[in-house]
Structure 1
Amino acid sequence: MCGLVCLWNVGNEEMAARMIVKLEHRGPDATQITSLKGAPVIMAHSRLSIIGPQDGAQPIIQGTDMLIANGEIYNHADLRAILGKDIFQTASDSETILHLFRSRAARWVDRLDGMFAFVLATPDRIVAARDPLGIKPLYVARIGEGLAFASELKAFDGLGLQTIETVPPGTLYDSRDGWRQWYRMPQGAARAEPGLDVEATARELRLVIEAAVAKWMVADVEVGSFLSGGLDSSIIAAIAQRQLKQAGRAPLKTFSVGTAGSPDLIAAKAVAAHIGSDHDEYVFTSDDLVENLPHVIYHLESADIDLVRSAIPTLFAARLARRQVKAVLTGEGADELFAGYTYHHAYVDDPRALADELTRSLGTMHNINLQRVDRISMAESLEARTPFLDRDLIAFAQSTPAELKLRRTDPDRIESTGPTTEKWLLRKACADLLPESLVWRKKAQFDEGSGTVAALQDALQTLTGNTGVIDRVQEGAFYEKTLRDRFVDPDLILANAGRWVADRVAA
C-alpha cells in the first residue's frame, strides 16, 4: 500500500516533492522521486512494503517505461508464470502491471486481480487505471497541457488548481486513446429460477468466500483482521483463522474498539474466544474523540456527518492494529452484496428493485465506505483489505437471486432479527462458523455498536463550547469548519469530498 504522485508534461521534482510529502503516511518505509529520461514525466512514491519488501521499491523502470502503483495484485504469482519469470527484476506484485502492459495483450488491465491504482509512462504516453470498485483511490488534475495524478486530494492542496477529477472505478485513461471503462458491474439477479437448489447455492457461496479470504491474505508480512463482532467481520475472521490453523501458523490477530461496555466490544470478545484468535481491544472515551476529530477529518477529506462518525472508530481500530501488523482484513462490502442495511427491508417484496439497488450501491462504494476505510487506515500506515469485494465473489453474489438475500424471517427468528432477515443466504452459508446467537445478531452501524454516537455528543460539546444538545446541523457545520481550517484550498477539497447521496432505487 502506498501513496503516489505523477506529473506528466507539467511541474518539476520540487513540485512532486511538495505533493508526495503530504502522502508519506500512506508509505513510511521509503519515498522516492524519479524522472524518466526522454519523457516529460516525474513520479513520486511513498511505500508501505507488503509484498517483495526487500526489492520492491518504486517507481519501477523497465527500459523506457516507468510505473508507480498503489494496492495489491493478488494473482501476481500466476501472472509471473504466464509472462515468464526471467523478465522480472523484483519480487513486487506491482511489477506484473508493467509487464502486462508491455506484452501488448488485448484488455491487459482486465487480467489484474486485486485492488489497485497505477500510473504508467512511456516516452510519449501516459496510462492510468483504477480497480473495479475503486478500493484504491486516484485523482487527476489538468494543469495547462499537462496532468497531475495523486492518491489523495491533499496532495493537490495549495497548488492553486481550479478542478480535480476522480479517476472512476474500473476505468483506464490513456493519453493516446482517451478514457475507457474496462470493468462493468454485473447486474444483480432478482428471483430464483425454478428448481434452484438453495442448499447447494449456500455451500457454493461459502467456497467462494473461503477462496476470496485465502487470496486476500497473500502477503510477505503478517495480516490481521478487524473484528467488530458483527456478522461480516466475524465471518472473515473465522475463515481466516481456520485457514491459518490448517496451515500450522500462529493464530490470527484480531482487533476491536468501542466505548466501555459497548455491544461491539462484548460481541467481538465472544467471537474471538469462539474462533481462537489472538484478540486485542481498545476502549476509547469522549476525550479521545476531542483529541482526534481534527485528525480524522483531515485524513478523511470529507465533512460528511455519517462518514466522520464511522471514521472515528475506524481510526482507533487502525491505530490499534498497526502496533502489531501492517495489513488487516475487513468486512466491507457484505452489506452491499447481500442486503445488510436496515433500509433494504423496504425491498423485501420487490426482489427486482432490491437487486438493482444493490448493484447501484456497489457502484458508489468508492465515494463513501471505501474512501473512509482507505483514508483512515492509511493515515495510520495500515493496509486494509476487503475480501468480500473480490471480483469472483462479486460475480457470484450478483448472480445469486436477491430474494435469497433478504427474506421474511422464520417464526423462531423473529425475536432476534425482526420480521425480515437481511443477508439471509450469507448467514446460512456461514452458520457453522459462529455461535447461533452471533450468526443471527441484529446489525448495528459501526458508529452505533462501538458507542461512538453517544461519546460524540460529549466531545462536540467540549469542542464547540456548547453545553446543549448538538444537532446534525451544528455537527455538520463544525466538521466543515474543521476541514476548512486544515486546508489552503478547502473549497477544492469539499467539491471532491466523499459524501452519502440519497439516490436509491425506488422500492
Structure 2
Amino acid sequence: MSGIAGILGKADEARIARMLAEQGHRGPDGQGIWIAKSGFGLGHLRLATVDIAGGGQPLSNEDGSLWLAMTGAIYNHHALRRELEGRHAFRTRSDAEVVLHLFEEMGPACVERLDGMFAAAIWGESAGLFLARDPLGIQPLYWGKDEVGNLLFASEIKALIGEVREVREFPPGHRWRVGEPLEAYARLPAHKEELTDPDQAALVLDRVLHSAVRKQLAADVPVGCLLSGGLDSSLITALARQYVEGELHTFAVGLEGSADLEQARRVADALGTVHHERVLTEEDVTSALPRVIDALESCDPALVRSAVATYYVAELAAGHVKVVLTGEGADELFGGYDYLTAWASDAKALGAELWAITAAMHNTNLQRVDRMTQIHGIEGRLPFADQAVVDLAFRIDPRLKLRDGESKWILRRVAEQYLPPEIVWRDKQKFAIGSGVAPLLERHAAEAVTDQEFRTARTPKGIPFASKEELLYWTLFRERYGRADVLALMGRSRSLNPGQRWVGAL
C-alpha cells in the first residue's frame, strides 16, 4: 500500500522527511523525496509488491515534466500498459508508471480508467498539483493548510498533526487539481433491486467474486489469506485456493478455545492450505491497546476491538507473506450485522442502511485493515470492496440479502459450492467476538475504569460516555489525537455487541 506526503507552496526536504517518518511503517522497502525548483515537494514510502527492483517513487515521465507518488494497487495496469506502450517509453514494470502516463494523455479523467485502490499525487510545472483517491476510499489520504497557507497532504493523520491547522480527509471517489474545485468522479450506486431471481443473482455474484479474487492475487511477492473461519474470509480463501498454484498460506488468531481458531482450522483443512495460528493471551490483548489505537487513529469501540485481532493476525502473516486477501466489506454489502434484522421486512429501508454503512467504510473497517496491515509492513487487499462487486451488490434485491432469518443469504448461496455446510450456515460473529477479544476487552475496561471515573467523565461534547470501553479508548486516543478536527474524522460504527444498535457518545 505504501505511503505518500507532499507540500504545495514552500517545501523543504526536512519537513517532508519528518512527515514520512511519522508514517514510516508504511514503507519498509524504501523511501524517496523529490523537490521541484518551484518549491513543490513530494515524498514516498514504498511497500514493494510489483516490480520489486525498479518500482521506486517518486517517479517521472520521460522528459521529467510530470512526477508521481501513489499508494495502492492498480489491477488493470497490464491492460492499460498495452494501450500506452506504443506512445510512451516505460522504464519500470510498476503500476504507478502506468498511472503517470495515463495522466499525460487524459489528465484528471485518467482515474476513471483505473481498477484498483489508490491515493495518487501528480505534479507538473504546467499541470500543477493533482490529487485523487479511489471510489470507496480503500487507500487513505488527508490534507490541510499550515499557518502560512502551504497545502500539505499525507497518507495518515499522524503525519499532519503539528503541521497543519486543521486535518481534513480527502474524500473517496474525488479528484482535485490546484485552481479547480474538488470534484466527485465516482459515487456509490443507489440500490436498484434489478436482480430478484436467486439463481441468477448467485450466478452473477459468483462470477464477479471469482474475477475480483483472481486479479487481486496478482503480485510479485507471496500472497496469503486472513482466515477467521467465518463465511466471508472462508469464501475468499476458497476462491483463492482455485487460482494459487502450490501452497496457499492462511492466518488466524484468537484466545484459547475461541470459535475463530476452531473454525479456521476446519476451513484450512477442507481447503488444504498451509495454516498458521497464534493463540492470544489476556496480556497480549490488553497490552496492545496503546499501540493499536495509535496506529488505528480511532477510538471507536467496535473498531478498536476488531483492530486488536487484526493487529495480531497481520503480525502473524507478515512473517510469511507480503500481501493478504481479507473478507471485509461483505457485511456492509450483503447484510451481515445482527442489528440489520430490524429492517428485514422493509427492503427499501434495509437497502438505505446498507448503502449508508458501505459509504462509511472508508473510516471504519477499511481504515482498520489499512492501518493494522501497514503497521506490520504488509498490504491488505479486499475482494469484496472491488468496484465490480460493489456495483453488483447494489443491483441485488435486499430481500435476497436477509432472507428466511439468515443474514448474507445470497452470499451463502454462492459459498455452498465451495465450503462445508457448517461453515456456510454458521451464525455471523464479528471478528472481535469470534476471536474472544471483545468480551475480554469489555471486562478489562470494567476493571480499568472505576465507577467514579465513569460517572464524572465527559466527552468533548460535554456528555457522559456511553460505556467504560469508550472512555478507556478515548483516554488512550486523546494523548495524540484529541484535537477537535481529528475527532471529527473518526468513523462511528453502528454495531458493537450482537443484536445491539450502538450509538456512542463521542
Q: Structure 2-normalised TM-score?
A: 0.91
Could you tell me how far apart the structure 2 residues matched to 1:312 and 1:114 are? 27
Could you tell me how far apart the structure 1 residues matched to 2:193 and 2:342 are? 15
Could you tell me how far apart the structure 1 residues matched to 2:277 and 2:124 are? 48
Partner of 2:9: 9
| Kept after mapping to 2: 8 A contact 1:190/1:351 | no
State yes or no: 1:476 paired with 2:470. yes
Choose which of 369, 382, 390 in structure 1 pairs with 2:378: 382
The Cα of 1:290 is off from its aligned counterpart by: 2.8
- AA aligned opposite 1:434: L
Partner of 2:488: 495
| Kept after mapping to 1: 8 A contact 2:258/2:435 | yes
Could you tell me how far apart the structure 1 residues matched to 2:351 and 2:472 are? 37
Could you tell me how far apart the structure 1 residues matched to 2:487 and 2:352 are? 29
Which shows bigger deviation, 477-486 or 438-447?
477-486
| Kept after mapping to 2: 8 A contact 1:327/1:383 | yes
| Kept after mapping to 1: 8 A contact 2:454/2:468 | no
Choose which of 125, 133, 138 in structure 2 pairs with 1:135: 138
Could you tell me how far apart the structure 2 residues matched to 1:142 and 1:503 are? 34
Could you tell me how far apart the structure 1 residues matched to 2:188 and 2:221 are? 31
Which shows bigger deviation, 265-274 or 358-367?
358-367
Could you tell me how far apart the structure 1 residues matched to 2:452 and 2:229 are? 33
Partner of 2:103: 101
State yes or no: 1:288 paired with 2:284. yes
Partner of 2:45: 46
State yes or no: 1:330 paired with 2:326. yes
The Cα of 1:362 is off from its aligned counterpart by: 1.2
The Cα of 1:473 is off from its aligned counterpart by: 2.9
**Residues 46 and 191 (structure 1), Cα distance of their counterparts in 2 relative to 1, 3 Å cut:** closer
The Cα of 1:91 is off from its aligned counterpart by: 1.0
Q: Tell me the secondary structure at the aligned position of residue 442 of structure 1.
A: coil
State yes or no: 1:168 paired with 2:162. no
The Cα of 1:491 is off from its aligned counterpart by: 4.4
| Kept after mapping to 2: 8 A contact 1:65/1:121 | yes
Deviation string for 1:422-471 (max 9, x for gaps)? 11111112202111111000001111110002322454467668999999
- AA aligned opposite 1:475: E
Which shows bigger deviation, 349-358 or 278-287?
349-358
State yes or no: 1:345 paired with 2:341. yes
Could you tell me how far apart the structure 2 residues matched to 1:189 and 1:492 are? 36
Q: Tell me the secondary structure at the aligned position of residue 28 of structure 1.
A: coil
The Cα of 1:61 is off from its aligned counterpart by: 1.2
Partner of 1:411: none
Could you tell me how far apart the structure 1 residues matched to 2:452 and 2:436 are? 20
Unaligned runs of 5+ in 2: 456-464, 495-500
The Cα of 1:126 is off from its aligned counterpart by: 0.6
Partner of 2:79: 78
Could you tell me how far apart the structure 1 residues matched to 2:345 and 2:122 are? 48
Deviation string for 1:38-78 (max 9, x for gaps)? x3311111101001111000001122111110000000000
Partner of 1:275: 271
How many residue pairs match? The answer is 483
Percent of matched pairs sharing the same residue = 40
1:423-438 alignment runs, 5 A limit: 423-438=408-423
1:57-456 alignment runs, 5 A limit: 57-62=56-61, 63-84=64-85, 86-104=88-106, 107-124=109-126, 125-143=128-146, 144-159=148-163, 161-190=164-193, 197-244=197-244, 249-408=245-404, 420-456=405-441
The Cα of 1:162 is off from its aligned counterpart by: 2.4
Could you tell me how far apart the structure 2 residues matched to 1:486 and 1:394 are? 35
Q: Structure 1-normalised TM-score?
A: 0.91
The Cα of 1:164 is off from its aligned counterpart by: 1.3
Which shows bigger deviation, 447-456 or 64-73?
447-456
The Cα of 1:343 is off from its aligned counterpart by: 1.6
Q: Tell me the secondary structure at the aligned position of residue 100 of structure 2.
A: helix
- AA aligned opposite 1:484: R
Deviation string for 1:92-137 (max 9, x for gaps)? 1111111111002672210010000011111141110100100000
Could you tell me how far apart the structure 1 residues matched to 2:3 and 2:108 are? 28
**Residues 92 and 462 (structure 1), Cα distance of their counterparts in 2 relative to 1, 3 Å cut:** farther
- AA aligned opposite 1:236: I
| Kept after mapping to 2: 8 A contact 1:296/1:308 | yes
